[in-house]
Amino acid sequence: MGNLLDYLMWRGDLTLEQDPFNDIDALLLSTLSYVDFSNVVPSFGGGKITMKDAAEKYFELHPNAELEVSKEFISYGPALLRDLAHSARFGDAYLQNYVDDSDVGREIQFAAVEIDTSDGVAFFSYRGTDDKIVGWKEDFNLSYMTVPAETEAVNYINKAMMGKRCKLRVGGHSKGGHLAIYAASVVGDKFIDRVLNVYSFDGPGFGFNREIMDTEQFKGLRPRIKKYIPQTSIVGRLLTNAVVPVIVKSNEQGIMQHDPLSWQLEGKTFETCASTDSISDAFDESMTIWLNEMSFEDRKVFVDELFSVFEASGCETLSAMTKVGVRGTRAMIVRMREIRNDSGEKVRALVKMFFVNFNAMKEPGNVLGLVAGIKNRNEK
Examine residue 299 and state whether it is found in any structural domain, yes or no: yes
Mean pLDDT to the nearest integer, 193-203: 96
pLDDT above 70 (res 148): yes
- For residues 182 and 310, state if they share a domain: no
Supply the range of the domain harboring residue 340: 294-379
DSSP result, 223-237: GGEEEEEETT-SGGG
Least confident of 15-19, 104-108, 294-298, 364-368: 364-368
Task: Assign 357 a pLDDT band (cuts: 50, 70, 90).
Answer: low
DSSP at 14: S
Residue type, 293: E
Question: What's the chain's Rg over C-alpha atoms?
Answer: 21
- For residues 45 and 68, state if they share a domain: yes
Least confident of 80-84, 234-238, 320-324, 339-343: 320-324
- Reported pTM: 0.88
Q: Which of 247, 280, 313 is the last residue of a domain?
A: 280
- For residues 159 and 206, state if they share a domain: yes
Mean pLDDT to the nearest integer, 308-322: 83
Tell me how far apart the alpha carbons of residues 197 and 158 are, in angstroms, rounded to a whole number: 16
Examine residue 288 and state whether it is found in any structural domain, yes or no: no
Dihedral over Cα of 114, 117, 120, 124: its sign: negative
pLDDT value of residue 358 = 53
Contact between residue 124 and residue 114 where contact means Cβ atoms under 8 Å apart:
yes
- For residues 227 and 88, state if they share a domain: yes
Task: Assign 240 a pLDDT band (cuts: 50, 70, 90).
Answer: confident
Give the N- to C-terminal CA distance of the chain in Å, as an integer.
Answer: 53
Tell me how far apart the alpha carbons of residues 344 and 342 are, in angstroms, rounded to a whole number: 6
DSSP result, 166-186: SEEEEEEETHHHHHHHHHHHH
- For residues 115 and 28, state if they share a domain: yes
- For residues 188 and 63, state if they share a domain: yes
Contact between residue 327 and residue 314 where contact means Cβ atoms under 8 Å apart:
yes
DSSP result, 233-262: -SGGGSSB-SSPPEEE-BSS-GGGGGSGGG
- For residues 300 and 190, state if they share a domain: no
> How many residues are listed for the chain in this entry?
380
- For residues 37 and 124, state if they share a domain: yes
- For residues 67 and 213, state if they share a domain: yes
Q: Which of 280, 308, 329 is the last residue of a domain?
A: 280
Can you say whether residue 295 is alpha, beta or left, with left for phi > 0 and alpha for psi between -120 and 50 degrees?
Answer: beta
- For residues 35 and 111, state if they share a domain: yes
Q: Residue 25's domain is classified under what CATH number?
A: 3.40.50
> For residue 166, what are the CA distances in angstroms to 79, 123, 194, 196, 200?
29, 10, 7, 10, 21
- For residues 237 and 132, state if they share a domain: yes
Taking alpha carbons only, the member of 57, 56, 20, 24 closest to residue 39 is: 57
pLDDT above 90 (res 161): yes
User: What are the backbone dihedrals phi and psi of residue 183, each rounded to the nearest 5 degrees, phi first?
Assistant: -65, -45
Structural domains of the chain, count: 2
DSSP collapsed to 3 states, 74-134 = CCCHHHHHHHHHHCCCCCCCEEEEEEEEEECCCCEEEEEEEEECCCCEEEEEECCCCCEHH
Mean pLDDT to the nearest integer, 149-156: 93
- For residues 204 and 307, state if they share a domain: no
Strand partners, 113: 125
Tell me how far apart the alpha carbons of residues 59 and 78 are, in angstroms, rounded to a whole number: 8
Examine residue 285 and state whether it is found in any structural domain, yes or no: no
Angle between helices 77-86 and 51-61 (to 10 degrees): 140
The distance of Cα 254 from the centroid of its chain, to the nearest Å, equals 16
pLDDT value of residue 360 = 39
Examine residue 289 and state whether it is found in any structural domain, yes or no: no
